[in-house]
Amino acid sequence: MQEGSSDRATSSGSQRDSKLELFGFDSLVNILGLKSMTGEETQAPSSPREGEDVAITIGRPKETGPKFGTMMGVFVPCLQNILGIIYYIRFTWIVGMAGVWQSLVLVSFCGACTFLTGLSLSAIATNGAMKGGGPYYLIGRALGPEVGISIGLCFFLGNAVAGSMYVLGAVETFLDAVPSAGLFQESVTVVNNTLINGTATAGTATISTPSLHDLQVYGVIVTILLCFIVFGGVKIINKVAPAFLIPVLFSLLCIYLGVFIAPRHNAPKGITGLSLTSLRDNWGSEYQRTNNAGVPDPNGSIYWGFNALVGLFFPAVTGIMAGSNRSASLKDTQRSIPIGTLSATLTTTAMYLLSVLLFGALSTREELLTDRLLTATVAWPTPVVIYIGIILSTLGAALQCLTGAPRLLAAIANDDILPVLNYFKVSEGVEPHAATLFTALICIGCVIIGNLDLITPTITMFFLLCYAGVNLSCFLLDLLDAPSWRPRWKYHHWSLSLVGALLCVGTPFDSYHFICHP
């Protein structure tokens, strides 16, 4: 009789309206039945349309894994996702191009976008229980599944394209560290008649950069290898992900030690050490044309302005949803998500602002513009530490993108809201192979572009649209003052959410202009 009633319940449930189950990556592992690999029995949470978040197990109490606090559950994952490749191989170049004061404005602007989004996210995350899902679940329950699914798709595309950014960053670092590994050698000879501190410099300089074809070949190979790892070791990837933060923190320590003891006996002539003279010389901006490798060239095809640099830098401040995506494994989501997310945002923003001042006072502008791996050049005791840290951290981040994005896409497809996504449906307990292949194809397509500078504006647009959706959701819920809208996080206001949404919506168009009209 129990089996018959279960079958009838299943039959009636299949005739209901499609349900939205957009959860964080860890929760998606439960939804898609991946816990069955370990012998555990799990039950998918209810949909937003049903308005509840409960897990039911038949015959025995619900089994839960270890719970994490604010530090390890939210702060560390957010820190790991925010600190990335842009800081290592593009940040010093951005300081040289924008100057110190405009770099401070740029970092403050991007930090304001993520901080305001963090306030809205904190309000949404504390509005009711989040035992089994991320913010998309609550947004879909409050404003309808269509709103939640639009945010989910932006988040999926942002993570899929971000995988290619991490792969290209790892390959570019490897080729810079081991130039002999390049299959296509390329040396760029630049006539230094570019603007340096407002004057044209004479003479020539030969700057070696990785070949575009090397970046493409190695990038495709690395992406394929990462896909094989994703197919075979999802559980291992989720467990070892925090370990990738260790080389990141150690490499940051080596960079700051090298900055304070510079210049060393073998340092390039352009590294002056911390100097007020260098800080004054690098205070103003020197926007100019560069070639595809970012080397200043008066005949270059790309002109860099402030808006273009926003599109390049913004991926360095994304990752604020990492904590809320792990809400199922938190001891106290109501407290941990707001404190951990906002603390990670403020910590990284303060670190970026300090780095602008340090790098601006460390070397000449010519050194900042021609040595994109200046962080490795000044690191103590050797640049090899930074190379290893960059490669490990970027490959770990790429694995996270290739692991989480397909599961999010499969969860969206299973809800039957968008018929075009029916190809990516999966049954419970089945790996989303089709979604993984589709994500890999997106990643490979961006890797073939071979230019990290052209990929980052696309990532910026997807993440800003996702953050705009979060801000708009909080704005509407706060303005309408619905009975179900009672967040415990009181440090928010509808005006702040509106400002955050306007900042996020207005920025991508400038980045899009840079992509289409370099």
HEC-encoded secondary structure of 390-442: HHHHHHHHHHHHHHHHHHHHHHHHCCCCCHHHHHHCCCCCCCCHHHHHHHHHH
Question: What are the φ/ψ torsions at residue 134 (nearest 5 degrees)?
Answer: -95, -165
The amino acid present at 278, given as its one-letter code, is: S
Q: Which of 267, 288, 256, 252 is nearest to 363 (CA)?
A: 267
CA dist 385 → 101, 320, 389, 405, 486 (Å): 30, 27, 6, 30, 48
In this structure, the strands spanning 195-196 and 204-208 are unpaired
Distance between the two ends of the chain, CA-based, in angstroms? 69
Cis peptide before 263 (omega within 30 of 0): yes
- Can you spell out the DSSP letters for 94-156? HHHHHHHHHHHHHHHHHHHHHHHHHHHHHHHHTSS--SS--HHHHHHHHH-HHHHHHHHHHHH
Q: Taking the CA atoms of the chain, what radius of gyration do you get in angstroms? A: 24
Pairing relation of β-strands 204-208 and 289-290? unpaired
Partnered with residue 36 across adjacent β-strands are none
User: pLDDT (tens digit, 9 = 90+) per residue, 341-396?
Assistant: 999 999 999 999 999 999 999 999 989 998 888 999 999 888 998 998 888 888 88
**What pLDDT sits at residue 187?**
58
CA atoms within 13 A on the CB side of 191: 5
Query: Residue 266 class from Cβ within 10 Å (0-12 exposed, 13-18 middle, 19+ buried)?
Result: exposed
Other beta carbons within 10 angstroms of residue 150's beta carbon come to: 16
pLDDT digits (tens, 9 = 90+) for 305-353: 898 899 999 999 988 887 766 666 678 878 888 999 999 999 999 999 9
Quick check: 27 and 133 in contact, CB under 8 A?
yes
Q: What are phi and psi of 25, to 5 degrees?
A: -60, -40
pLDDT of residue 401: 83
Contact 244, 397 (CB under 8 A): yes
Q: Are 274 and 362 in contact (CB under 8 A)?
A: yes
Give pLDDT < 70 ranges for the chain.
1-66, 128-143, 185-206, 233-242, 324-329, 428-429, 508-518
- Give the domains, in start order, of the chain with CATH numbers: 70-194+202-516 (1.20.1740.10)
